[in-house]
Amino acid sequence: MKTKFQFIAGVVLMFLFLIPGAQAQILQEKSDVIKEYGEPFSSGVTKSGENYLFYKMPVTTKASGTYNQGRVLYFKTFSDGSEVCYKFKVVEPLSETIYNITSFTRNLVQIEDMQWKDYAKGIVYNIKEVKGVCLITAEYDNEVSLAKVYKF
């Protein structure tokens, strides 16, 4: 039992280093994100009307060396005026793609080609190779899939 717990704890720690702090941003208020990461590199509104914050974060990996990871966080505005993160995108060098795929496959449930789900947190991750970069998109999925499986 102790060995199983240590294995699970190790897997969780490895996943936390995959995209540091990124999954915690889902369902976080915009003001809390800014408190945690500081002023963004830029911010604005997309053509479809979504508010976003863009951060450049220095990252060092074996595969790519040191580079600026781009992170875009998207927010929905509610009737009370609060803005909550429901989606983020991470842009990394193409050399990070295989590492990300391996980590997602090891730690999440693959639901389609290049798509994984964290059922515990309700987050769906997609990986695409676009114009020479690895693009990871994570979006909150409020579908209650497990409830459909275990009907009482």
Q: What are phi and psi of 140, to 5 degrees?
A: -65, 130
- pLDDT at 4 (0 to 100): 45
Do 116 and 109 touch, CB atoms closer than 8 A?
Answer: yes
Q: Is residue 85 part of a domain?
A: yes
- pLDDT at 151 (0 to 100): 44
What does the pLDDT profile of the chain (152 residues) look like in tens digits?
A: 544 434 343 333 333 334 434 455 888 999 999 999 898 899 999 999 999 999 999 999 999 999 999 999 999 998 998 899 999 999 999 999 999 999 999 999 999 999 999 998 899 999 999 999 999 999 998 765 544 444 44
Do 142 and 76 touch, CB atoms closer than 8 A?
Answer: no
- pLDDT at 22 (0 to 100): 47
Q: Is residue 147 part of a domain?
A: no
Kind plus residue range of the DSSP H or E element containing 127: strand 123-130
- Dihedral sign of CA atoms 142, 146, 148, 150 in order: negative
Q: Is residue 130 part of a domain?
A: yes
Provide the domain limits for residue 117: 24-140
Cα(first)–Cα(last) distance of the chain, in Å?
30
- Please choose, from the candidates 89, 125, 130, the residue with its C-alpha nearest in 3D space to the C-alpha of residue 110: 125
Q: Is residue 7 part of a domain?
A: no
- How many independent structural domains does the chain possess? 1
- pLDDT at 114 (0 to 100): 97
- pLDDT at 142 (0 to 100): 76
The span from the CA of 102 to the CA of 85, in Å, is 26
| SS3 readout for 50-105 | CEEEEEEEEEEECCCEEEEEEEEEEEEECCCCCEEEEEEEEEEEHHHHHHHHHHHH
- pLDDT at 143 (0 to 100): 66
Cα Rg of the chain, angstroms: 16
- State both tokens at 89: 């995108």
Residue with tokens 């496959």: 105
